[in-house]
Amino acid sequence: MAKVIDGKAVAAGVVDQVSAASKALEAETGVRPGLAVVIVGDDPASHVYVSSKSRMAKQCGFKSVQHTLPAHTTQAELEALVDTLNADREIHGILVQLPLPDHLDSDAVIQSILPGKDVDGLHVVNAGKLMTGDLDGGLISCTPAGAMLFVRQTHGADLSGLNAVVIGRSNLFGKPMSALLLAANATVTTAHSRTRDLPGVCRNADILVAAVGRPQMVRADWVKPGATVIDVGINRIDAPERGEGKTRLVGDVAFDECAEVASTITPVPGGVGPMTIAMLMANTVTAAMRAQGLKPPSF
């Protein structure tokens, strides 16, 4: 049976490290890291995410600001708010909660955030630095950064000689995850829906990362014995065993059967999920320290 990674425990360790860095920064410079979260509209899931981010920011000792805008907010109004936050020296991180209402251009909004304040790591400057191997100059997208922390804790910082397969090629996760693995010297295959013999490709992976949004797609016979399996999927499926109309969360990996083959595996929920907010906090304190000309800790 595989070792199951406790994402909540690892995330708590990151948050402790962030809190200590935040306290040290304020003691040395008088500056508190500032995080501004912007949410547009009434999407219930987005409001839950934003509330948890704001709570965590306060726990870390940050100045936490939330801007809640109506669903009819215009592109110009939203970008004007971002411009104001860009110019605010007390704000070191800006996060615009996605998805935005359909009439808004999400990419234009993200690209209007100063790269040094883009704590989601989605600006093309930050993406470009990651793709060119500059891991210390930009801000790395939070979910792949969290998943990579699991990989480093399992295999160390140097992945030389290991084969890694990432299922998924999204700009949000798949591509940056592949770049992080490549920067750590893994031999990386980025697989996707057009990949021929996907199960066969996955069976070569010492590190298998699944991020496709298809419930329990990865089966036990896809997994190389002894592999590390990182499940990034979050899918809600029917759970009639819990009662009529009930659901449960599962990943992209069939956990129970794959755990019999892998050496290390992440659960859903409780695996990669908690790391996303923790790494957002890490990016915020990193941005604040860089703004003061200080070297941030490594996470």
Q: Which residue has the tokens 């941030």?
A: 296
What are the backbone dihedrals phi and psi of residue 187, each rounded to the nearest 5 degrees, phi first?
A: -90, 115
Q: How far apart are the first and last CA of the chain?
A: 29
Q: Is 97 a catalytic residue?
A: yes
List C-alpha distances in Å: 78 to 48, 101, 107: 21, 12, 12
Q: Confirm if 33 and 295 have CB atoms less than 8 A apart.
A: no
Strand partners, 141: none
Residue in the block written with tokens 């992976």: 205
Catalytic residue, from 53, 117, 175, 224: name it. Answer: 53
Dihedrals phi, psi of 35, to nearest 5 degrees: -120, 125
Which residue in the list 97, 117, 118, 216 is annotated as catalytic? 97
Which residue out of 17, 117, 120, 216 is catalytically annotated? 120
Distance of alpha carbon 274 from alpha carbon 280, whole angstroms: 10
List Cβ neighbours of 245 (8 Å cut-off, separation of 6 or more). Answer: none
Q: How many Å apart are CA 97 and CA 197, to the nearest integer?
A: 36
Assigned token pair, 53 = 């981010």
Residue 120 appears among annotated catalytic residues: yes
Q: Is-catalytic flag, 53? A: yes
Question: In angstroms, rounded to a whole number, what is the distance separating the alpha carbons of residues 77 and 46?
Answer: 20
Residue with tokens 């299922």: 167
Count of CB atoms situated within 10 Å of the CB of 189: 17
Residues annotated as part of the active site: 53, 97, 120
